[in-house]
């Protein structure tokens, strides 16, 4: 669930004092997905490039650690936080253990966020690295892939440090952000975050 209160308390940025936002590089069109794509188009995130009151800092932790293209990986035995705390592992589809590399990538992402004094992160949901609301529970290529509520390893690292994280599917949160970036933006009252969707409610109860 996103912390909309944290978004509400973000300062009002200006062109000379832009909001510093870390973004999953693929959300802005960088071809850094495991298959060398950007996983489609992400208009809600790309819209952020329209504002002069935001400084976007793009990063792909999996590309940093494993290069592109690369194998698919998922978290086994818990969430991203569990990986950081030694209770779960990151495994590729061929069985390689990428736990250490993923933790290193999360530390690099946090280091970048600290150096650039990031105030918010907008990350790609579902990813074992960047997922912020929902991730796979084990392999996504298994016979019966299942989801769990939780963050990927890199999102959990940022969140643990106190940086608010939202995903490209958190449309209500994005509306709040657009309004921060442009006070004349009229917030769409029908926009909802991922945890408010029918799919989420039906799946997680």
User: What residues make contact with ligand SF4 under the rule CB under 6 A?
Assistant: 24-26, 32-33, 60-63, 124, 127, 129-130
Closest distance to ligand SF4 from the beta carbon of 65 (Å): 9
Name which of 13 and 48 has its Cβ closer to ligand SF4: 48
First to last CA, the chain: 14
Give DSSP secondary structure letters for 150-163.
---HHHHHHHHHT-
Name which of 127 and 157 has its Cβ closer to ligand SF4: 127
Closest distance to ligand SF4 from the beta carbon of 192 (Å): 22
Name which of 60 and 134 has its Cβ closer to ligand SF4: 60
| C-alpha–C-alpha distance, residues 46 and 27, integer Å | 7
Closest distance to ligand SF4 from the beta carbon of 33 (Å): 4
Contact 123, 109 (CB under 8 A): no
Closest distance to ligand SF4 from the beta carbon of 84 (Å): 16
3-class DSSP state of 101: helix
What are the residues facing 120 on neighbouring strands? 21
């Amino acid at each position: 669930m996103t912390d909309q209160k944290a978004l509400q308390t973000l300062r009002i940025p200006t062109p000379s004092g832009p909001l510093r936002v870390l973004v999953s590089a693929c959300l802005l069109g960088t071809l850094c997905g495991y298959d060398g794509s950007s996983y489609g188009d992400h208009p809600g995130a790309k819209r952020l490039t329209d504002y002069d009151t935001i400084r976007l800092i793009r990063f792909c932790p999996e590309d940093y650690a494993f290069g592109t293209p690369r194998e698919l990986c998922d978290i086994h035995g818990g969430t991203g936080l569990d990986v950081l705390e030694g209770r779960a592992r990151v495994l590729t589809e061929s069985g390689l253990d990428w736990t250490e590399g993923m933790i290193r990538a999360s530390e690099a992402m946090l280091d970048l966020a600290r150096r650039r004094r990031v105030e918010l992160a907008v990350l790609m949901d579902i990813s074992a690295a960047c997922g912020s609301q929902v991730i796979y529970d084990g392999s996504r290529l298994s016979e019966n892939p299942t989801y769990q509520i939780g963050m990927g390893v890199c999102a959990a690292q940022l969140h643990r440090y106190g940086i608010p994280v939202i995903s490209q599917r958190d449309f209500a949160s994005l509306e709040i952000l657009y309004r921060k970036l442009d006070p004349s933006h009229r917030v769409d009252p029908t926009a909802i975050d991922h945890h408010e969707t029918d799919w989420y409610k039906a799946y997680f109860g």
